[in-house]
Amino acid sequence: MEGKRGRRTDCGPASATSSMQEDFSVVLSGEAGQGIQTVEEVLTRVLKRSGYSVFATKEYMSRVRGGNNSTEIRVGSRPVRALVDAIDLLVPLQQGAIEHLGARVAPGTAIMGERSVLGDVPGLIDVPLSAMAKELGGEVFSNIIAAGAICGILGADEGVLESYLAERFGRKGEDIVAKNLEAARKGYAIGSDLVKRGRVKVTICPDDGVRDDALMNGAEAVALGALAGGCNFIASYPMSPSTGVLTFLAQHAREFDVVVEQAEDEIAAINMGLGAWYAGARALVGTSGGGFALMVEGVSLAGMLETPIVVHLAQRPGPATGLPTRTEQGDLELALYAGHGPFPRLILAPGSIEDAFRLTHRAFDQADRHQVPAFVLTDQYLMDSYYNFPGLDLRGLEVEDHIVRTERGYRRYAITPSGVSPRGVPGNGEGLVMVDSDEHDEDGHITEDLALRTRMVDKRMRKREGILADCLPPELIGSADCETLLISWGSTYHAVREAIDRLGDPKVAALHFTQVWPIHPDTAGHLKRAKRTIAIEGNATGQFARLLRLELGHEVDHRILKYSGLGFSVEDVARGVRAILDGKGGDG
């Protein structure tokens, strides 16, 4: 069924002119239960298979029905990776949707919806979705009509659209497939007609090289990275926004031979994870916000047992339950200082979907190599965002086995120059693998020998040198001779990168961190060379900026902070930096 029916034909020489759009932003907004996610799923996959680069992200309220949610889908002639405020086409499905998006609705925004639902909206492109859907058998088909209309506007391959719908609804029977195809065709005709009549202007052109790209979100990438790292056990209590990793691994548990345990609470989850590592498995524990607070004693236990553990902490706004379905970078200090008593750890913060895969794999390797807790720090924005890319780089992803076969006289906590003792597991050799949560001697027996206590603390802390030697350097985006250096970490990566492109100022560069602890030694040199530093963070206090001051003595000059529950848009970063450069901006 796939072919070139319906493909835009105005992509000739004129498409190379300066008037050509590089991307087009579509936003759908409505209440929970109206099927916005279905439209997002259809559009991202159909558009990608039609040769368009896509990016999708969502913001949603913590409710099953009602409220006002939205999803943004950017469609590009080039790769698109970040949220933008600008809306080229808005499809509001209920009253209040336009007001909900506020300042993002500009004079140039085309609004397509039902006048009977939205009322008298100036310039509204009235499409009677409900009435058309009822003719097909029910309002449930209105979402597919809307998806078809958007595909028609963008010039997606109509054959691809039909093929995907047949694939998606095939299990529901021929009648349902036929009605969905008819709904899509009706919508597609409407969208094509709107472009022909000049009601919506789009000049984006497809690239056939995109068709075979991978398309995934951050949660899927973390899960796949865990599998690449040898993960064969996950224990979690479901908690947004970390749950996507748990559900993905549960769905594929048989394929990858993974034991998936939905624990009764987070305390049980981390203790199960520690037990699994002790027994020789490679375990992942996933949680968010307050769930991690319950795991803190278990994190300390990992430090004392010197047992590896990988914790995926998907951040959301706090304190307490906060905004459970929104995003924030507010748990860096929590991950850094969680636990009583000092012990080494490392914290990785993916900035992209590709990072989410490779860094989760790395977390397993580093946790096992150094026998410490390794944190993968994500957030709702990264977990729920999709985009296409050529595919996961599987090079160099071997699973390193650091378990030794024990002999008689084996000492689990043998004092070594590196601080890392040979790690055995029960049943693998003749030695007794003894561990204890109290301070212990080299054999693992409880001790109150205070001189030995000092030596054991020193032994554990010596691991920091090895962790630092393996530390990932920050990525410099732009010139090392810049005057203004933006400092960012985690999921702000693509917004910062695109904002620098928009600013077009060769004197502005960025230093982006995907390992936020320990801090790489090269960092100090980058900071000293810049005349001005600006920290960009999704929290209210500039937690990473404070860490730079604590560890390196560097005081950033300005902070651009966002803690509304929404991720940084490209405009947020560009506007904030420009205001500082013009002397009109400051902290906040």
Residue 356: CB partners within 8 Å, gap ≥ 6?
Answer: 218, 221, 222, 225, 350, 376, 378, 382
pLDDT of residue 587: 66
Q: Which residues of 411-427 are buried (b: 16+ CB within 10 A; e: fewer)?
A: bbbeeeeebbbbbbbee
Is pLDDT of 9 > 80? no
**Predicted confidence band of residue 20 (pLDDT cuts 50, 70, 90):** low
For residue 5, pLDDT over 70 is answered with no
How does pLDDT run across 408-428, given as a tens digit for each residue?
Answer: 999 999 999 999 999 999 999
495-527: pLDDT as tens digits: 999 999 999 999 999 999 999 999 999 999 999
Tens-digit pLDDT profile for residues 283-308? 999 999 999 999 999 999 999 999 99
Question: Residue 421: which region, alpha, beta or left (left: phi > 0; alpha: psi -120 to 50)?
Answer: beta
Structural domain spans, the chain: 13-211, 215-389, 403-470, 475-581
- DSSP-derived secondary structure for 547-563: HHHHHH----SEEEE--
**pLDDT given for residue 13 in this prediction:** 38
565's CB contacts (< 8 A; 6+ apart) are 59, 317, 323, 326, 327, 328
Closest C-alpha to 580, from 495, 507, 527 = 507
User: Is 75 in a helix, a strand, or coil?
Assistant: strand
Instruction: List all residues 6 or more positions away from 466 whose beta carbon is below 8 Å from its beta carbon.
Output: 369, 370, 418, 419, 420
Nearest CA among 519, 497, 470, 494 for reference residue 353: 494
For 33, other C-beta atoms within 10 Å of its C-beta total 12
Model pLDDT, residue 12: 43
Which string of DSSP letters, residue by residue, matches 266-284? Answer: HHHHHHHHHHHHHTT--EE
Nearest to 543 by CA among 579, 494, 490: 490
Residues of the chain with pLDDT > 90, as a percent, come to: 88
Extract the tokens encoding 130.
């409900």
- The 10s digit of each residue's pLDDT in 161-182 is 999 999 999 989 999 999 999 9
582 burial (CB, 10 Å; 0-12 / 13-18 / 19+) is: exposed
CB 488 within 8 A of CB 537: yes
3-state secondary structure labels for all residues of 481-538 = CCCEEEEEEHHHHHHHHHHHHHHCCCCEEEEEECEEECCCCCHHHHHHHCCEEEEEEC
Q: Based on C-alpha coordinates, what's the Rg of the chain?
A: 26
Q: What is the pLDDT of residues 249-283, one digit of tens each?
A: 999 999 999 999 999 999 999 999 999 999 999 99
Q: Considering only residues 5 and 142, tell me which one the structure prediction assigns the higher pLDDT.
A: 142
CATH of domain 475-581: 3.40.50.920
Angstrom distances, CA of residue 470 to CA of 204, 231, 389, 395: 43, 21, 27, 18
Residues 347-386 have pLDDT tens digits of 999 999 999 999 999 999 999 999 999 999 999 999 999 9
pLDDT of residue 4: 44
Fold agreement (215-389, 475-581)? yes
Whether 16 has a pLDDT exceeding 60, the answer reads no
Q: 268 burial class (0-12, 13-18, 19+ CB within 10 angstroms)?
A: middle
Give the CATH number of domain 215-389: 3.40.50.970
Instruction: Pick 208 or 292 by higher pLDDT.
Output: 292
**What is the pLDDT at residue 167?**
94
Of 469, 260, 296, whose CA–CA distance to 369 is shortest? 469
Q: What pLDDT was estimated at residue 2?
A: 44
Q: Answer whether 351's CB lies under 8 Å from 212's CB.
A: no
Q: Quote the percentage of the chain above a pLDDT of 70.
A: 96
Q: Under 8 Å CB-to-CB from 403, ≥6 apart: which residues?
A: 280, 423, 424, 425, 428
Whether the per-residue pLDDT at 1 is higher than 50: the answer is no
Confidence of residue 64 (pLDDT cuts 50, 70, 90): confident
Angle at 89 between CA 85 and CA 92, to 5 degrees: 95
Tell me what the mean pLDDT of segment 388-393 comes to.
Answer: 95
One-letter amino acid of 307: T
pLDDT value at 21 more than 80:
no
Q: What is the Cα–Cα distance from 282 to 301, expressed in whole angstroms? A: 17
* 518: preceding bond cis by omega (within 30 degrees): yes
Q: From the CB of residue 466, how many other CB atoms can be counted at a distance below 10 Å?
A: 17
Q: Which of 144, 181, 188, 171 is nearest to 40 (CA)?
A: 144
> Which structure tokens are listed for 509?
């560069």
Per-residue pLDDT tens for 467-497? 999 999 999 999 999 999 999 999 999 999 9
* Angle CA 189–192–195, to nearest 5: 150
CATH 3.40.920.10 fits 13-211, yes or no: yes
- φ, ψ of residue 174 to 5 degrees: the values are -65, -35
Tens of pLDDT along 93-115? 988 899 999 889 999 999 999 99
Which pLDDT score, from 0 to 100, does residue 187 have?
97
Pick from 37, 399, 376, 57: nearest CA to 223 = 376
Of 78-82, 119-123, 356-360, 554-558, which gets the smallest average pLDDT? 119-123
* Confidence (pLDDT) at 489: 98
User: Is this model's pTM higher than 0.85 or not?
Assistant: yes
- Work out the average pLDDT over 27-41: 88
CA angle 512, 515, 517 (to 5 degrees): 120
Distance CA 460, CA 445 (A): 16
Classify residue 531 as exposed, middle or buried by CB count within 10 Å of its CB (0-12, 13-18, 19+).
exposed
Q: Cα separations (Å) of 572 from 426, 495, 546, 575?
A: 53, 9, 22, 5
Mean pLDDT rounded to a whole number for the chain: 94
